[in-house]
Structure 1
């Protein structure tokens, strides 16, 4: 039978484009509201001000990404769906109000400080999907305040590792599990504010998603989710199909692993074949002793976020990743297994992987790409006890850097990191909360790589301890070599760190990594973040732009 009568009997009729668009945006809005609720309620500035967090909706069967908040960190796109899949495998006796907590990096995580909450969402008594979020806790125990143990040689030195366990059971927090967590982390009395904020964000998601399902019905929303995934895959396939077939190779360098003072190499062979892109990272350096190993979930997510950077107009859900074929780089530092330390994987190695993808794609579609961005989050932790208040503290800072030049112009100065859209914590908040004084915070003029379109500038800041004693640690990168230029452009300036302690100054042996530096009142640390790479032959730069930069004294 054909015609309208046959169509009316189809148990799964095609969803109309307007309804599909409204539901797609509705799901996005649910995630955005979770993000907003999380930041507004959180205690720690790294979440409330810096927004180092993410919220999303995941499929009930396999944890595949359905939607993620627009203000969440892109690097969590892949890791959160892998984490949800792990929770689904282990979940038992689910009931409304349950919330799993997990930060185990080998079970779909990043580093231990990224703590995930995963909650089953029920609609009319049936499991419809999972809601999940990640928040960066300023401390999860370990050898040094903040968790960035630059010379850790096993994961236990980095902090408390949690497999998926129910922190909330039917809406009530499990005080025994909470006491175990609090007994293993610093500033435990301050964590309950972040825990309740993280759980509250998921409750907001429940309420908003329930309203959406009440309006359109579970069957219609289910069909919309399936169609969204199909269309996202089609979009990404179309983008890849426009790239010439071939093999495109690139490399990116990690300064060191923090233990052995030798660079690590990320070697990528990208094969474009029709509508699929195949990523082979198997020639990268072997597993390392220090904390710059990357778990496979983070490695995959780094490739995903790089391709999303290149094609920002492609919708974001599990379908986006289907044409991206990533071979497991077993035997390399990009496939960390227990007990390899991993504190640097999420914020640093992930950005080197993305840089390798950018460089390979530049060879394939040069007019569409850009030179490398700063590519480091500038992780800087400082922990101690403030003698003025008598309270312990852990201060975690990140910083921006220059973006690479591109065909349309110069790179942005002081842009956020490649892996996220987090911002630097406002200076006023840091000075109010911690015994720290910013003596300088400025653009690092001249740090952008030369090119027809130069790289953007990094930043330069100097912090001084005002009182008491503290321990400083940092896990940064791009201290050995700067961000790569493209198509003849020069590299950006590398990251630098200068420690002033007891009247003497020194540069760390590993340039961008050191842990447990004992400092006292009056000691200071100066950080200069990388500038972006230059794009194109510098000889082709518009003379008017050269004169403008000279007048502004950007370059000596």
Structure 2
């Protein structure tokens, strides 16, 4: 069936024949772009080699316009990556220079100073040419299993400098004019311990870029001119901005703050860090002020993700279901200061960059909640809860399993907190399945179960934490990342806090469990048991107000054990 070639309406009274697209054309364009990303997502998870991408969903796919503003973003990827592809794409193109790009070029970049993440987050970038000029970019970020550095996985707590964490690629051409640059692929593979994973994921990202270019030609170029595409892009951004401003204007005006502590400065035994955020609402404008967060530290918990952190929280409140584009953030100003832990200077270690992000997002939501307890939920488990097992195979090659812990989310004024879910910066991405874990690695999952009585009590109960017990079948190493055990998930409106979590190890022949909340490459003899415990979410409202029938159901389902 032939699709009719619709064209936007031209307003005769507009000077210079400026295009004024109608509403239907804008929606057709928006959905054509999102359909391209949907197909890339499906293809990426089907072809990637690492469970981090095909199972865990540690990736993002985006379309950016030629000024590096986000046009559309994949729906199933990590919320932590909301509208943050622009700086790294702009930097990579700036290195190569836009005038030197040609159809069929593909660049690779993980440059920390531009991206602000750990070096594992590698972005592949393909310019989209239309009418002999760059009209847009397709960008795919995937978490590579290893890019070198001090230890397998490239996320060592012992790193004190970004150069100790692995290799940086900055606008490296991986494809030139449609031909793979084999020496550059070989360079990427020479800088990883997990060559099979990285080769497979690199090719999956490259295939996704090629698919995006092809689908753009089929669904965009064949239908609309560059002038029309630019008109649609501007109109789409304007619609999103209008929606966002109306949502912000509906909130109470004022300034609202929230504060909490982390466990330490990234090194066990150091003092906790105090995080304070401030949200200011004035009509249809919002400021999220992150200038009162701590200075950058030596440990690898720094980032340049302040804007991304704020955008995750902002979108969660303002427009959680609206498609993501740059226009959605038009009412938002993010205030930062150079040299903070969220705006670290060049060279700062960032291996565990995401360890503070759930806390920052949670604090922004808490600040929203101070202006109206109905507006935001109680605190969630707010810890990445990362656990990385690795080891050597008989042939000397490395194996590695990376996962994070799902825990309890905070209750709201309408419902109990859900569990188990990852952090607010993860969304609802999946755990590595038990079948994949046991089938791929010398590990046995003894149990995965709720931790009763860990959700904060209230009129509405916080979600329960989860306990996972894993036994090593061979000698292995363990790296962990657990946060927020000193300042647990808070309750709201009289609700009680949740119970924090942790990681404990019991080696063969021992009777005691030893805590390893932040640890790198802990040696585990075969038969070691590792217990990963996630926190429960905070409760909402006075516990005495809880419906007795709901409490009876909690007892029946094992969420609580106390009358």
Q: TM-score range by the shorter chain?
A: over 0.9
1:10 Cα shift? 5.8
1:395 Cα shift? 1.3
1:439 Cα shift? 0.9
Contact residue 145 and residue 471 of structure 1 kept, 8 A: no
Structure 2: distance between partners of 1:254 and 1:59? 38
2:524 equivalent in structure 1 = 519
1:123 equivalent in structure 2 = 130
1:227 Cα shift? 0.9
1:178 Cα shift? 2.5
Structure 2: distance between partners of 1:495 and 1:449? 13
Q: Would you say 1:501 and 2:510 are equivalent positions? A: no
**Aligned with 1:58: secondary structure?**
strand
1:6 equivalent in structure 2 = 12
Q: Would you say 1:475 and 2:484 are equivalent positions? A: no
1:76 equivalent in structure 2 = 81
1:217 Cα shift? 3.4
| Structure 1 residues 59 and 294: CA distance shift in structure 2, 3 A | same
Q: Would you say 1:87 and 2:92 are equivalent positions? A: yes
Contact residue 278 and residue 364 of structure 2 kept, 8 A: no
Structure 2: distance between partners of 1:195 and 1:170? 18
**Aligned with 2:261 (options 238, 249, 253):** 253
**Aligned with 1:270: secondary structure?**
strand
Contact residue 282 and residue 331 of structure 1 kept, 8 A: no
1:391 Cα shift? 4.1
**Aligned with 1:96 (options 103, 127, 141):** 103
Structure 1: distance between partners of 2:339 and 2:296? 7
1:502 Cα shift? 4.0
**Aligned with 2:164 (options 148, 157, 163):** 157
1:517 Cα shift? 0.2
Structure 1: distance between partners of 2:144 and 2:497? 34
1:339 Cα shift? 2.1
2:28 equivalent in structure 1 = 22
Superposition TM-score, scaled by structure 2 size: 0.93
Structure 1: distance between partners of 2:131 and 2:16? 24
Structure 2: distance between partners of 1:5 and 1:477? 57
**Aligned with 2:381 (options 364, 367, 374):** 374
Structure 2: distance between partners of 1:230 and 1:524? 55
Q: Would you say 1:462 and 2:469 are equivalent positions? A: yes
1:535 equivalent in structure 2 = 540
Deviates more, 1:513-522 or 1:531-540: 531-540
Structure 2: distance between partners of 1:160 and 1:471? 22
**Aligned with 1:210: secondary structure?**
helix
The 5-angstrom pairing of residues 392-471 of structure 1 reads: 392-420=398-426, 421-467=428-474, 469-471=475-477
CA deviation vs aligned residue, 1:191-211 (integer Å, no higher than 9, x gap):
211100011111111121212
**Aligned with 1:67 (options 56, 69, 72):** 72
2:274 equivalent in structure 1 = 265
Q: Would you say 1:168 and 2:185 are equivalent positions? A: no
**Aligned with 1:339 (options 336, 343, 347):** 347
Paired positions, count: 545
| Structure 1 residues 216 and 532: CA distance shift in structure 2, 3 A | same
1:301 equivalent in structure 2 = 308
Structure 1: distance between partners of 2:323 and 2:559? 38
Superposition TM-score, scaled by structure 1 size: 0.94
Q: Would you say 1:243 and 2:251 are equivalent positions? A: yes
Q: Would you say 1:107 and 2:114 are equivalent positions? A: yes
Unmatched runs of 5 consecutive residues or more in structure 2: 1-9
1:352 equivalent in structure 2 = 359
**Aligned with 2:223: secondary structure?**
helix
**Aligned with 2:506: secondary structure?**
strand
CA deviation vs aligned residue, 1:487-528 (integer Å, no higher than 9, x gap):
2212212121111124334433xx621111011211121101
Unmatched runs of 5 consecutive residues or more in structure 1: none
The 5-angstrom pairing of residues 137-156 of structure 1 reads: 137-156=144-163
